[in-house]
Amino acid sequence: MVVRQYKAEGPVTKILLPIVALDDAVGLILFAVSFGVAKALMDGHLDIISVVVEPVLEVVLSIALGAVMGFLFSFFERFFHSRSKRLAMSVTFVFLTVAISMLQFEIGGVHIAFSSLLVCMMLGTVFCNVCDFSEELMDRIDRWTAPLFVLFFVISGAELELSIFKDATIVLIGVVYIVFRCLGKYFGASSSSKLMKCDPSIVKYLGITLFPQAGVALGMAIKAQTIGEEGVIVANIVLFSVLVYELVGPYLTKISLTKAGEIQPEGKISARDMAKKS
């Protein structure tokens, strides 16, 4: 969103966008596995099927379902040419994919479920890499997604229970999480970009641009609430951290991209200067 708002362009921006997507994908996979294990522990079913088989199956089947829906999405979009019909088809496939991903059933004593977040991400990944006019369609969709983002943030923020932070232990956990996540992002991005001999601006600024946390993290936090009281605590810590990150993260990202020379400094142009240029 920051990159789009300020029309940033350069080596840091070029590597930032795919890294953010990859970061979300890996995060969703780890969350799906961890969520399955945590749910098994909470339910008291400590066996190889519930702790290992079911979480791995959830990840694999979610990726497979998202890939299938992505190919179907790309196939059916080719039969429509007007903007309104293609937009309607896009919304339809998103809702249909979410609805299918909510199905749960058992086969031979093994509980089968899907991660709706991972399924939808795979849907978008396949569609944007298979469909030759996906960039044009995504650009049109981006124009009306702002109200959805606002609604998503409002609903997510409504879940934040400030009373939970009366407990000093939870506050400490939240602070440690925020600090060490930032340290991990900065030094992880810096050391890996040094190892790959990237541009000096990437080594210096990439980690800072990864500080903001919202979207996918909020989705995972809301899902974490379903496992019980411990899940509510986890969700509130994440929601609190998102509040902190979103207050300072986008600003730090803007500063980093500006210092990297990928965002032009804002300034006022007088009518006299405009006349001189003309």
> Does residue 187 carry a pLDDT above 90?
yes
- List b or e across 80-110, with b for residues whose CB sees 16 or more CB atoms inside 10 angstroms: eeeeeebeebbeebbeebbeebeeeeeeeee
Q: Which two tokens stand for residue 171?
A: 């506050």
Compute the mean pLDDT over every residue in the chain, rounded to the nearest whole number: 82
Does residue 72 carry a pLDDT above 90?
Answer: yes
> Which of 33-42, 46-55, 77-86 has the least mean pLDDT?
46-55
pLDDT higher than threshold 80 for residue 195: yes
- The pLDDT score that the predictor gives to residue 191 is 93
pLDDT surpassing 50 at residue 265: yes
Reply yes or no on whether the pLDDT at 61 is more than 70: yes
Better-scored residue on pLDDT, 28 or 73: 73
- d(CA 24, CA 127) in angstroms, rounded, equals 17
pLDDT > 90: percent of the chain = 15
Nearest CA to 204 out of 158, 252, 148 is that of: 252
Where is mean pLDDT largest: 36-50, 53-67, 214-228? 53-67
Q: What angle do CA 62, 220, 4 make, to 5 degrees?
A: 95
Quote the pLDDT of residue 269. Answer: 44
> Residue 271 — very low, low, confident or very high, per pLDDT cuts 50/70/90?
very low
Per the CB < 8 A criterion, the answer to whether 58 and 111 are in contact is no
Confidence band for 96, pLDDT divided at 50, 70 and 90: very high
Q: Which amino acid is at 19?
A: I
Structure confidence at residue 24 as a pLDDT band (50, 70, 90): confident
**pLDDT digits over 168-181, tens only?**
888 888 889 899 99
Is pLDDT at 47 greater than 50 in this prediction? yes
pLDDT band at 266 (very low <50, low <70, confident <90, very high): low
- Which residue did the predictor score with more confidence, 242 or 180? 180
Asked if residue 220 has pLDDT above 90, the reply is no
Per-residue tokens: 23: 């970061």
pLDDT at 192 over 50: yes
- Give the pair of three-digit tokens for residue 149: 């983002």
User: What are phi and psi for residue 112, nearest 5 degrees?
Assistant: -105, 125
pTM over 0.85: no
Higher pLDDT, 100 or 216: 100
User: 3-state SS string over the chain?
Assistant: CHHHHHCCCCHHHHHHHHHHHHHHHHHHHHHHHHHHHHHHHHHCCCCHHHHHHHHHHHHHHHHHHHHHHHHHHHHHHCCCCCHHHHHHHHHHHHHHHHHHHCCCEEECCEEECCCHHHHHHHHHHHHHHHCCCHHHHHHHHHCCCHHHHHHHHHHHHHCCCHHHHHCHHHHHHHHHHHHHHHHHHHHHHHHHHHHCCCCHHHHHHHHHHCCCCCHHHHHHHHHHHHHCHHHHHHHHHHHHHHHHHHHHHHHHHHHHHHHCCCCCCCCCCCHHHHHHHC
* Confidence at residue 68, expressed as pLDDT on a 0 to 100 scale: 94
Most confident of 66-75, 76-85, 127-136, 213-222: 66-75
